[in-house]
Amino acid sequence: METVDLAALGESFTRDPYPVYARLRERGPVHRIRMPEGGAEAWLVVGYEAGRAALADPRLSKNWANASPALPLRSASSGPHMLGMDPPDHTRLRRLVAREFTPRRVAGLAPRIQRTTDGLLDAMLAAPGGRVDLVEALSFPLPITVICDLLGVPDLDREAFRAWSNDAIGATVLDRRRAATEAMARYIEELVDGKRRRPGDDLMSALIHGEDDSGDVLAHEELVGMAWLLLVAGHETTVNLISNGVLALLTHPGQLAALRADPTRLDAAIEEMLRYDGPVETPTYRFTTGPVTIGGTEIPGGGELVLVALADADRDPRRFPEPDRFDIFRDARGHVAFGHGIHHCLGAPLARLEARIAFRTLLDRCPGLALDIHPAAVTWREGLLIRGPHSLPVRVA
């Protein structure tokens, strides 16, 4: 099978990968690719049905212990966590976390999310000329503040952490990835140790000191891995949901006007934002534990790397008619922006809550909201995992 070199496509693919995925989908659901990340090779699954099935296929392991030794990539995590585990380990860990990460705890964050959003909008509206970078002014500080409050780490060095996070999960130069991962590991070890010594009324303390009905508790290395997952995944998805969603609205003025005219469409609009240009292009890695046949193509066993193109699944015309059209009146339910199966994002309700408050407040307080850059000049984050702009200049007044 021909290897499709996505790395060679450069900035044009990073800016708009959807036409490339669509052309691949027309040829079949499985393709051999070369990734931008270090030139590693992988198997890419495109299309809605094939992608959804692959996400739930138990033959595709999330455990890095099952990765081929020849794979040049390594886990970015600081310890074991749910996205790097299979049942029964995954089942146990998710149960322990879900026991503390309750809908009530998430709902209780709404007043704090609103206060934080209001404060950020105050600063945005006071900016000279009403011109700001939305990523710096809102998309990043809102979710990182929320997740730090949730975990009880208000003293997080956010700029350093943001740089480490960006490199650990998005850098295409592998040395940068390794250096960022090591720096994050040291930092998160200190966070967990500090929270163990000084517990509070927060999720991290609950995870450290809590146990389930059978007396099961999280081991130290599991706590470090879970802190990494909650801090990174807990802000990355929402950062790019907000940025990508604002960009979609501002480049589709008719849809923006329709949403302003009928704010009750906000929840539906957020689901369409997730479908149209979601924050995760391909999810974290899967590895074959035996031969897997998809659409007539056999992917060998032995720890072959498999990627599922969430971005393409949600642009498959067999599931979403006219998929390249942004339409807040579309029924976007069933999208896979937050994954599918046992690894469906545990933090999806929190991301939706933050987005709902952010968009409602932004539209209420910024009637003149407009792009301050040509859409083609927006630069996008590298790599196949996270999709979002580096910056998004806007005018808020």
Tokens 């212990």 belong to 65
- Residue 288 · residue 306 · CB < 8 Å: yes
Return the pLDDT at 58. Answer: 95
How far is Cα 171 from Cα 30, in angstroms, rounded to an integer? 25
Residue 198 belongs to what domain range? 3-395
Whether the upstream peptide bond of residue 389 has omega within 30° of 0, thus cis, is no
Return the pLDDT at 228. Answer: 83
- Extract the tokens encoding 254: 């008719």
Residues of the chain with pLDDT below 70 are 76-78, 154-156, 170-173, 211-213
Q: pTM score, two decimals? A: 0.92
Return the pLDDT at 38. Answer: 80
Which burial class, exposed, middle or buried, applies to 66 when counting CB atoms under 10 A from its CB (0-12, 13-18, 19+)? middle
Return the pLDDT at 98. Answer: 87
How many folded domains does the chain comprise? 1
**What is the domain-level CATH number for residue 12?**
1.10.630.10
Return the pLDDT at 170. Answer: 65
